[in-house]
Structure 1
Amino acid sequence: MSKIRIATNLLSKPFLLLFSFLWPTLSFKNAASDADKWILTKQCTLKVNGSTNINKFSCVIPEYTQPDTLLFYKANKNEPIKITGSMALDVQKFDCKNAIMTNDLRKTLKAKVYPKIIIRFLNLSRYPVYSFKECLINGAVTIEIAGIVKRFEIDYSYTMTEDKALRLIGTKRVNFSDFNIAPPKKLGGMIKTNNELNVEFMLNIKTLDD
C-alpha cells in the first residue's frame, strides 16, 4: 500500500504543477467571458489646447486608425466598472494648423524616441446607460507621454449615437512638467509656452458582437 501511495504522489505532482500554471489562464478566460466588449472606431480623436505668452493654440490628432478592443467588466452596484484596454496615438499625426507649431509640439513630445501617446483605460464610476441626452460620468486612466506614465481622474460627458455607438468625451488639465517635459520657447525665450495643457479625447466605441 505504501508503494502505491508513493507512486500516486509522484504522479500527482506534475498534474498539480500543470494545473497551477493553467489556473490563472482559466480564471482570466472566465473573467473575460463576463465582460462586455467594445471596439474603438476610427472616429476617435485627441485634442490638446494650450497657450503662450502671446497667443493660444490647438493641436489635434484627427482620427484613430487602429480598432482596439476595450473590455468592460461587470461589477456590483455602486462599484466602479473595471476596464482593460488602451489606445496608442501617433504623435507624428498631431496637426496644429501651423507648420512651425506642429513641428515644435512633435519635437517637444520627443516623437522620434517616443512615437506614441498611450492612454490606458482603468475604470468608470458606473456603466453608461443608453441615452440620447448628454450624461456625465468619471473614471481613471493612465496617460503615457515621452516614456512617463501618470494616472489621472477624468471627467466625461457621453451620449449614445443613432447607430448605437457610445460617444465619450473626456477632458483633463495636465502640465508639460507632469511628464518631465520643458515647455517650448522661441526667439531666445521671448515666446514662452505655458506649462498647462487642456487635453480632450473623444472616444467613439461600439459593442463587439461575439
Structure 2
Amino acid sequence: MLVINNKIAKVLILFIVFNLTTRISWGQEYKLVNISSELSIFGTSTLHDWEIKVENIKGSINIESLIVNSLKIEIEAESLKSGHKGMDKNTYKALETDTYKTIVFQMPNSSELSEQSEGKYLMEAKGDLTISGTTKNITLKFNVERNNDQIKLKGEKTFNMTDFNIDPPKALMGTIKTGNEITVKYHVTFNK
C-alpha cells in the first residue's frame, strides 16, 4: 500500500510541476471583470456635451513577466447607454448595430510594460480597433497596476468618428449635430 501511495505521490508531483512550468512559460491569463470596469465615451453637440457609458464589456489579457502577450477588449455595441432613448437610438443607427454587434480592440503583437514604481507600469499597445466593420490600427496608452491576482488598465483615447466611416449622429431633422471628435476613457479590471 505504501508503494502505491509513493507512485501516486510521484505522479501528482510531476503533474503539478508540469502545470506550473506550463503556466510560467505561457504567462498568466486574466479575464475582464465587467462589474468593476468602466468605459465611457465623451463628445459634443450643437446643443450640449454628452456622455455614453458602456454596460457590457468583456476581454482578456495575458502577461508573462513584463511582457503583455495578448490583449482583447470587446464591447457589446447596443450596451452603449446615454440615459436618453432617442440618443441611444441615433447612436445605434450611426454604428449600424443591426449588422455590427460588437466593437473590438485586439493587440496582435506583444508589448512591454515600463515599470514606474512598485506594481505600477506604463504600456503602449498597438492594436486593431474595429467599429462598424471598419478596422484601424491605433495606439493606446495605459497606466497599469498589477498585483498577484489582478490587473487594472486606465487611460483615454481621442479620435474622430469619421476615421471609422461613421457619420456623426444628428437629431431633430439635422438641427442638432454631434461633433466628430470623441474621447474614450477607460478603467478596466482583469482578475485571474
Residue 160 of structure 1: how far off its partner (Å): 4.4
Indicate the residue corresponding to 1:139 in structure 2.
125
Structure 2 residue 149 is the aligned partner of structure 1 residue 157: no
Deviations 1:133-188 (A, max 9, x none): x6543222321100111111112223347x84221113111111111111111223
1:185-204 superposed matches below 5 A: 185-204=170-189
1:88 is aligned, of 54, 58, 74, to 74
Gaps of 5+ in 2: 1-21
- Deviation of 1:72 after TM superposition, in Å, equals 2.6
Q: 1:32: Cα distance to partner?
A: 9.1
| 2:43 aligned partner | 50
Please, what TM-score do these two structures have when normalized by structure 1? 0.69
* Structure 2 counterpart of 1:70: 61
Q: Partners in 1 of 2:113 and 2:61 — Cα distance?
A: 15
Q: What code does the residue aligned with 1:197 have?
A: I
Residues 30 and 150 in structure 2, CA contact (< 8 A), matched pair in contact too: no
The answer to whether the Cα contact below 8 Å between 1:131 and 1:159 also exists between their aligned partners in 2 is no
Equivalent residues of 2:116, 2:122 under 8 A apart: no
TM-score, normalization by structure 2: 0.74
Among 17, 30, 36, the alignment partner of 1:38 is: 30
Deviation at residue 74 of structure 1 after TM alignment: 5.5
Distance 1:88 1:154 in 2: 15
Cα distance in structure 1, aligned partners of 2:37 and 2:69 = 18
Percentage identity across aligned positions? 20
Distance 1:189 1:177, change over 3 A: same
Mapped partners of 1:185, 1:69: distance in 2: 35
CA distance in 2, matches of 1:33, 1:125: 16
- Aligned residue type for 2:135: V
Please identify runs of 4+ aligned residues in structure 1 that moved more than 6 A.
Answer: none
Aligned to 2:111: 124
> Which residue matches 1:102?
88
CA contact (8 A) 1:130 1:160 kept: no
CA distance in structure 2 between the aligned counterparts of 1:128 and 1:113, rounded to whole angstroms: 41
1:40 counterpart letter in structure 2:
L
Structure 1: 5+ residue stretches without partners: 1-29, 76-80
Instruction: Determine if contact 2:27/2:64 at 8 Å carries over to the other structure.
Output: yes
